[in-house]
Amino acid sequence: MSLTVVGSLAFDAVETPFGKRDRMLGGAATHFALAASFFDEVHVVGPVGDDFGDEEMAILSTRGTNVDDVERVAGGKTFFWAGKYSANLNERETLDTQLNVFETFEPKLSQASRDADVLFLANIVPDLQYEVREQCERARFVAMDSMNLWIDIARESLEKVIARVDCLILNDEELEQLTEAPNLVTAAAQVLQMGPSVVVAKQGKYGAALFTADDHFWIPAYPLETVVDPTGAGDTFAGGFVGYVAAHRDQPLTPAVLRRAMAYGTALASFNVEEFGTDRVARLTADEIGPRVEQLVQITRFESHPLTLRG
């Protein structure tokens, strides 16, 4: 009984209006694992280079995450990404991307990783996502992320993976791009015809939305006065969301469970953005999370009330 994630382990260089880091641990699988490890034993699958040290491995192993399938490529360098955020953090510019060991990555899953009953395919080239998905025959819930690049250059491969997963987690604009739908509601309805039974639309600082055949749910981002670095927020959200689902794998996946999963993902993501990189979530403790989930209940709740209108 475990949760496997396949995706990037990286060094990030990030500049925001609140500071600058030249080299810190990042990558989708890293952020995902740090969040999901609150809910389940996580197995991380991804490549690193010689420059990935004990310190990074220790952070990745937080809360017992299994790193046996982190593949160290001798003579290789770890994936590197550099980006700069705009004044209000709404936009970011990629300054540098060095694929390094990712260029020739072929996921090799140990039996333990293949035996996972929950699987998250972080954003990597769709053909690799497909291979991994097929290796995990016992997975009862498979979720995936992707990005605009693959919609542009590998749509066919991407659609082939999407057809084989239970849940697609994507930015709202990417969902619209994927389906060529004029709005999110229509886009989500179309994705539900492509294979997944659950669609999650990430809306950045505005929150996230959930769509299934018989449920719609919208949750705002957790309101923060301090946002330092949005890098990894989406993957942290996914870690909280998929982690929550994994922790409830023995229950039916009801709207109530999925909605709470959205709330946990939202709460986790809010911690991620408060500090650079993995700093905040790596030292986060379990008792800090519940109060933010409860606060999300409080700031969204209202009662309808009979009212006689004019006209």
- To a copy of itself, the closest distance from the beta carbon of 224 in angstroms equals 6
Indicate whether 20 belongs to the interface with a copy of itself (CB under 8 A): no
> CB-hemisphere CA count at 13 Å for 17?
8
CB atoms within 10 A of CB 114: 18
Number of residues that bind a copy of itself (CB under 8 A): 63
Indicate whether 170 belongs to the interface with a copy of itself (CB under 8 A): no
Indicate whether 105 belongs to the interface with a copy of itself (CB under 8 A): no
- Binding to a copy of itself, residues 47-76 (CB under 8 A): 62-64
Quick one: which segment of 53-61, 74-82, 86-94, 114-122 binds a copy of itself (CB under 8 A)? 86-94
Q: Where are the alpha helices (DSSP H) in 64-143?
A: 111-114, 126-135
Of 86 and 97, the one with the shorter C-beta distance to a copy of itself is 86
Quick one: which segment of 52-60, 74-82, 95-103, 220-228 binds a copy of itself (CB under 8 A)? 220-228
Residue 118 falls in which region: left (phi positive, over 0), alpha (psi -120 to 50) or beta: beta
Indicate whether 290 belongs to the interface with a copy of itself (CB under 8 A): yes
Q: Which residues neighbour 149 within 8 Å (Cβ) at sequence distance 6 or greater?
A: none
Indicate whether 263 belongs to the interface with a copy of itself (CB under 8 A): yes
Indicate whether 214 belongs to the interface with a copy of itself (CB under 8 A): no
- To a copy of itself, the closest distance from the beta carbon of 86 in angstroms equals 11
Of 100 and 212, the one with the shorter C-beta distance to a copy of itself is 212
Angle between helices 255-272 and 233-247 (to 10 degrees): 140
- Binding to a copy of itself, residues 21-40 (CB under 8 A): 37-40
Of 161 and 263, the one with the shorter C-beta distance to a copy of itself is 263
Among 12, 56, 145, 176, binds a copy of itself (CB under 8 A): 176
Phi and psi angles of residue 146, each rounded to the nearest 5 degrees, phi first: -160, -160
Q: What gap in Å lies between CA 293 and CA 202, rounded to an integer?
A: 17
Among 13, 92, 147, 218, binds a copy of itself (CB under 8 A): 218
Letter string b/e over residues 199-225, b meaning 16 or more CB atoms within 10 A of that residue's CB: bbbbbbeebbbbbbeeeeeebebbeee
Nearest-5° Cα angle at 264, 275 to 54: 45
Q: What gap in Å lies between CA 146 and CA 173, rounded to an integer?
A: 12
- Binding to a copy of itself, residues 221-260 (CB under 8 A): 223-225, 227, 244, 247, 256, 259-260
205: helix, strand or coil: helix
Among 182, 213, 214, 250, binds a copy of itself (CB under 8 A): 182
Q: Which residues neighbour 59 within 8 Å (Cβ) at sequence distance 6 or greater?
A: 25, 30, 34, 278, 282
Query: 150: which 2 tokens?
Result: 């693959």
Enumerate binding residues for a copy of itself (CB under 8 A): 17-18, 37-40, 62-64, 87-89, 173, 176, 182-186, 189, 203, 205-207, 209, 216-220, 223-225, 227, 244, 247, 256, 259-260, 262-264, 285-286, 289-290, 293-294, 296-297, 299-311
